[in-house]
Amino acid sequence: MAISWTEEQKAVIESRNRNLLVSAAAGSGKTAVLVERIIRMITEGEAPLRIDQLLVMTFTKAAADEMRERVLKAVDEKLMENPDSSHLQMQAAMIPYAQITTIDSFCLGLIKDHYNKLDIDPAFRVGDEGELILLRADVMKEMLEEYYEKADPLFEKFVETYATGKSDKGIENYIMQVFTFSQSNPWPIEWLDQCRKELETSDMDQIMDTGWMKFLMKDAGLQLSELKFQVEKAMEVCEEENGPEAYLPMLANDLQLLDRLSLAEDYEAFNEQLKKASFDRLASIRSKDIDAGKKAFVTGIRDRVKKAVGKLLDLYCFESPEEVLSDIRGTRDAVTTLLHLAGEYARRYQEKKREKNLVDFNDLEHYALEILLTREEGKTAATEVADELSRQFEEILVDEYQDSNDVQEALIGSISRERFGTPNVFMVGDVKQSIYQFRLARPQLFLEKYDSYSKEEGNYQKIELHQNFRSRAEVLRSINEVFYQIMTKNLGNIQYTKDAALHPGAEFPEEEGRAGEKTEFLMIHGSGNLLKQLDDDAVDYTSREMEAKVIAGKIKELTDPVNGLLIWDKRFGGKGGYRIAGYGDVVILLRSLSGWAEDFVNVLMNEGIPAYAERKTGYFTAPEVETILSMLNIIDNPMQDIPLAAVLKSPIGRVTDEEMAHLMAVWKKTAKKGQDRGLYGAWQHYRKEYGELDDPEYPGLFHKLETFFELLSLYREKSTYLSIHELLYDLYEGTGYYDYISAMPAGEVRRANLAMLVEKASAYERTSYTGLFHFIRYIENLKKYDTDFGEASLAGEENTVRVMSIHKSKGLEFPVVFLAGMAKKFNKQDSYGKILIDPDLGIGTDHLDLERRVKAPTLKKHVLGRKMNLGAMGEELRVLYVAMTRAKEKLIMTGLDRYLDKKLERFADIIRVDGQIPFTILGSADSYLDWMLMSLSGKYSPSQILGEEGADTGNLILKELSVSGLVGEEIERQAEKKLTKDALLSLDTVRVYDQEFAKDLRAAFDYRYPHEADTRLHTKLTVSELKKQGQFTDEEESEFLPTIPSFLKEEGKEELPKGAFRGTAYHRALELLDFGKVRTREDLHHALEGFRRDQRMDEESLSLLSEDMLLSFLNSSLGNRLAAAQLSGRLKKEQQFVVGIPARDMDAGDSDERILIQGIIDAYMEEEGGLVLVDYKTDHIGPGEENVLVGRYQMQMDYYERALEQMTGKRVKEKIIYSMTLKKEIPLA
């Protein structure tokens, strides 16, 4: 079915030969439009383009892959219509190699093709992030140590001035910040030089020309303009009927004051006027005819204006011009030193990377820029390579353009045809969704073009896509109502107008019942600690838990099987239809998961709602990961007390707190001065003290410790010849820890976490670092620099509520969205440091007088702080927009605040300029909740907003919920519990209150169940449980043989991994292989590749297989019998069974009670005369040790025989074990 494009979409698809900026609102189908544009460019017209004449740049590999697949699918469909088209055939063949790529990948390819233009080795590789962190830490440490040794006075003064505590971390952070900002500039050295030159200003005229002073004057002017508007609005109210007209003279004076400030031409004049600013006292009004509401409105505005002017004075005019100049001179040495250190660090880091033949992602972009542009005296010129690429690419298409930075902009510009007068860059994005400022994205680039490009056709055109094909009109109207008021040009640089607003484009069929509901805003009034007021021992709800309880209740309501929310599902019934919302349709979005996600998931789970949060942090604090990392630490150095104590207390060491305390007590009591200290020293002493004698106080402790330290000694030896990932595999199996965590709750996630650690070890082994010591450093540095992987994620049940961050949700859509935690305060920490850095305004610092030990912020630092705060608030606006636009059918916002009523009173006199709240007011918000309340204030009274019945704004349903109401039942339970507790505590414990009851109680306690023996029987046992009871040995329980060092391995001979990992891999492969078709090595290789490609086996499992072993089995006499059976349909694999066996037959007593035995038969086939039972074994045994396997598995195979005969009603004529190690079949009796 052909897509019906809107007129705007058609214009985007069909326009050619220009720079085109497409502002695509959320849900406007930008990806579909972009793909259609590409398809038409390469398939339509008299001379359609080839796909290699287009350069399509995205920001993620996933987006690039998706786009490539869409284009290929569309070309294939065109080929179905026109199969003889040689042009289409060529495009289909070229698409897999087309330049549909990330910017990093494009740069990497460019460098590989033109490495000869650079001074680098063509065999370079992109460094692993952990490796680069280590390298950066090493470079920083070496550099600072050298400077300390030099005793450079400027360096020492800088350290004394800006270091925090006894650590260099603060200094390192400042150097890294300057370095990072410089790298986001196309010409890093020039940026550092420009910051340096700004320090040379010597008078106010020069300062007036600086970027930071221009920002100050512009910002002050904008604030004053808004304040003037507010005063004028107050004067209009004074002139209304029953208005406070007596206030007019004072307000007129206020307006004149603001005018004088606005007219100040330079900082000196502005500073002088602002310091002289004063406000007359308002006249006293006693007349009863004056409208009290109008009077309060005017006084409220005037109070706000007075406070704003006071803040302006504190922010920008706390110093005289002379003091400003003095600050610049006083901080010059410190800033110059910082810039020098950042430049020196960049040089050394680059040298280290060259030594190791590494590049990082910054290098990719800068090296590409070096190939494409030359730079002399501040002017750039395109190189021959750039000209060649400009000729090659008919058009450059950039997706998510709002997230570009200056370096990427320079790259795109260098290969475009703009310099030849024929601009050819297509840019699509939504600046309202630019939420990666922390990655130094520059939404300003988008905004500059948006402001300068014309809506009319021409070389520089912009087109708005504002129809939303994702969400219901009810959702869109609520988003528009909020953002019309709070998204302004002066805060975030975006004016939310009719062009920017969201217009409904999706069609939802009409339906009777609960479908298409309005957005809800649930305001929870109060705080936690209510239960504590009742009883100090009560476990109180936190504010987060209270909010989660509200959401849990709402989810139950929405998913109620009878009265739940109806949502449209295009797959429902095969044709599409309405169904009741389920848990899998619900997502809870949070600004940050840290500290929130766990509380929300726990509350939901306690309420019976399945929930899951995929965190980006928490990996290193997962108990199983911490335990194994601690084990690695003590393998490297057992003298470390904290990791040693952690492992001893873990299931590996099994030492209790009391036993450990006893161990240390023995050491303290009997050790002599000078003997080894710490836990390891205590063990050495304990061993000498007791020897083979058992400790009378703690029998068995000596044996427990001896076993552990022998194991530790074994692994210390193994660490000398095993690679890290091999050591980890060995640790998991040799300690039994892998099996232990598998049996714990969330065992699958825990296993995945340990598997991820093996992956990280393998990644580390590909770096330039080697050895266990450096691996531990590698992990420690990842922790230190907050590079957490997040816990391993597993595909959970579809019917599960997901909790995720707003950033994670970008680009996704969900039927029901809860936007939670709206009262969480904005993070403004970045503007509080001693040194602030801005890519446009440079560096601002505190001025520290070391002699007088006085610290004071400079004016420039105040300016940078103001810009950073405005930038952060603009980013928060865009994050809020992203969050609200994820909802398709229903949006619910929640926030808990104890001061809701006071906030509404504070916002009651808010005025609007053309429907928008002034940015001077918006900028005072501390949370999303504040912005929501501001958008409601002035339209609705506090009593309407917080009334018991709530309010309907037409687009929003407002509801206030009290904390006490939410926990009312819990309060009753706690009160009853406290009364019961007090009553019990007051009882006489000796007195018998009821003789008859006491008699019955004694009889009950003395009762003995006549069939007590049967209660100890298991109702069901698995093969593994039978093993634990000593019935037989598990197939993977083999002795630990030391791994052969690589230098002793026979050439070409692969050492086989051991244990459960390998056994599982072989069983999976043999289950999947078609014995009738796989006969040769080529057949086998092809089959295994298919398993990898189809993801039926992962890379790790496949690496554990030996093709030689598998071929030996397939070509054995047993293999041939199985192949014949499979070809004729007589073979069954991985057959699960449950069979009931009387307890007496299992030596489990004389009872006739049946015990269910559960297991899986590897394979059986039907032949003439009966069934043949086959089991594969991977145990390590030597030639001639067939009887070992017979002894281990005879009983297991007997159970399998009994189960198979009971299950099929046929006789088992043969039982065969096939040993993969011996490459031999072993018949059993």
Enumerate the known binding-site residues for ATP.
24-31
Distance CA 102, CA 182 (A): 22
Alpha-carbon distance values, 335 to 128, 178, 328 (Å): 32, 10, 10
The neighbour count for residue 1052, using CB atoms within 10 Å, is 5
Contact 460, 453 (CB under 8 A): yes
Distance CA 1010, CA 1016 (A): 13
* Residue that is written with structure tokens 């007051």 in the block: 986
Residues near 474 by Cβ (< 8 Å), separated by ≥ 6?
516, 517, 518, 519, 955
- For the chain, the distance separating the N- and C-terminal CA atoms, rounded to the nearest angstrom, is 66
Q: Burial-class residue 598 by CB neighbours within 10 Å (0-12, 13-18, 19+).
A: middle
| Pairing label, strands 842-849, 854-857 | antiparallel
What DSSP designation does 657 have? H
User: How far out from the chain centre does Cα 940 lie?
Assistant: 38
DSSP string, 709-771: HHHHHHHHHHTTTS-HHHHHHHHHHHTSHHHHHHTSTTHHHHHHHHHHHHHHHHHHHTSS--S
* Residue that is written with structure tokens 């009742």 in the block: 534
If we measure between CA atoms, which residue out of 542, 499, 498 comes closest to residue 524? 542
Distance CA 644, CA 508 (A): 62
Alpha-carbon distance values, 528 to 63, 562, 589, 595, 959 (Å): 43, 33, 22, 16, 19
1177: helix, coil or strand?
Answer: strand
* Residue that is written with structure tokens 């512009």 in the block: 218
Residues near 715 by Cβ (< 8 Å), separated by ≥ 6?
631, 635, 727, 730, 731, 734
Where is the binding site, in residues? 24-31
Distance CA 1066, CA 1103 (A): 11
967 in the Ramachandran plot: left (φ > 0), alpha (ψ -120 to 50) or beta?
alpha
Write b or e for each residue in 1061-1100: b if 16 or more Cβ atoms lie within 10 A of its Cβ, otherwise e.
bbbebbbbbbebbebeebeeeeebeebbeebeeeeebeeb
- φ, ψ at 395 (rounded to 5°): -150, 145
Structure tokens at 1102: 């496949």
Instruction: Find the length of the chain.
Output: 1229
- Cα torsion 1111, 1115, 1117, 1120: sign: positive
Structure tokens at 728: 């980890």
| Opening angle at CA 563, ends 559 and 568, nearest 5 | 65
The neighbour count for residue 1227, using CB atoms within 10 Å, is 11
